[in-house]
Amino acid sequence: MTTALLKDQHLLFIGDSITDCGRRDKVNAPLGCGYVNTFSNLQTLREPAKTIRITNSGIGGNTAEDLYQRWQDDALLFHPDWLAVKIGINDCNRYLSNPEEHHKQCPADFRKYLQGSLKRSVEALPDLQLLLITPFYLSRDSAEDTYRGKCKTLVGEYQAIVKELAEEFNTRLLDTQALFDAFLEHHPPAKLSQDMVHLNELGALILAEGVYTALKG
């Protein structure tokens, strides 16, 4: 299997800390030490003759509103051929923890901001290829009275919105929750993350492999 990326094309990743993963630190610049860097290595290993330019525009702590506010400078001005967007877990966590203070991170506003960013993208770059990556939460807690149980339930609303927007804009889609849940049938969440969100090397490898598969030709 190979990706649909063509030689010399530009793939840009944008999102929150899971995408950022230290890419602004001197040690890990410019791709970070997470799934973006792992994907770059996988793609180079499997398709050595296909030179791809990869940009990481992730910023830790970002929400869909944050992406919308910086979309022109951090996404569109790069004129990428491919754009991978992964956002939503900060929206979910903040809205769950304090709905009044973080009302702009509610599911409805999450949809509005992400939809707005995608609309700007297709209008500015008609030939752009998009990959939407759903947020995930690695807990297996399904209780109604625990924070992790509530977060696992609520994140499903944000995941559903990403899937609906993928259909609306006819984009590629990576369902990360399904990807990780298949792994969690055999292993505890701690095998991938200490906080249910930020991935270790194995988690980054699983996500990078998922991205590679989602971009198949």
Whether the CA torsion 65, 68, 74, 78 is positive or negative: it is positive
Mean pLDDT for the chain overall: 97
Structural domain range at position 176:
10-214
CB-based burial of residue 168 (10 Å sphere; 0-12 exposed, 13-18 middle, 19+ buried)? exposed
CB-based burial of residue 182 (10 Å sphere; 0-12 exposed, 13-18 middle, 19+ buried)? exposed
Question: Is 208 contained in some domain?
Answer: yes
Question: Is 4 contained in some domain?
Answer: no
Q: Is 9 left (phi over 0), alpha (psi -120 to 50) or beta?
A: beta
> To which H or E segment does residue 85 belong?
strand 82-86
CB-based burial of residue 209 (10 Å sphere; 0-12 exposed, 13-18 middle, 19+ buried)? middle
- Structurally, how many domains does the chain consist of? 1
Question: Is 1 contained in some domain?
Answer: no
Question: Is 2 contained in some domain?
Answer: no
Question: Is 131 contained in some domain?
Answer: yes
Whether a cis peptide bond, with omega within 30° of 0, leads into 30 is yes
Q: How far apart are CA 93 and CA 106, in angstroms?
A: 10
Tell me the catalytic residues.
17, 195, 198
The pLDDT of residue 206: 98
Q: What is the mean pLDDT of residues 61-65?
A: 98
CATH of the domain at 117: 3.40.50.1110
DSSP-derived secondary structure letter, 3: B
Note whether 54 and 31 are within 8 A (CB): yes
Question: Is 28 contained in some domain?
Answer: yes
- In 3D, which of 1, 118, 2, 9 has the Cα closest to residue 55? 9
The pLDDT of residue 43: 97
The pLDDT of residue 122: 96
At residue 26, does pLDDT exceed 90?
Answer: no
Question: Is 75 contained in some domain?
Answer: yes
Question: Is 3 contained in some domain?
Answer: no
How does pLDDT run across 76-101, given as a tens digit for each residue?
Answer: 999 999 999 999 999 999 999 999 99
> To which H or E segment does residue 25 belong?
none
The pLDDT of residue 5: 97
Q: What is the mean pLDDT of residues 56-65?
A: 98
How does pLDDT run across 101-118, given as a tens digit for each residue?
Answer: 999 999 999 999 999 999
At residue 1, does pLDDT exceed 90?
Answer: no
The pLDDT of residue 2: 94
Distances in whole angstroms, Cα of residue 174 to Cα of each of 5, 37, 94, 200: 16, 18, 23, 19
Write out the two tokens for 89: 């877990």
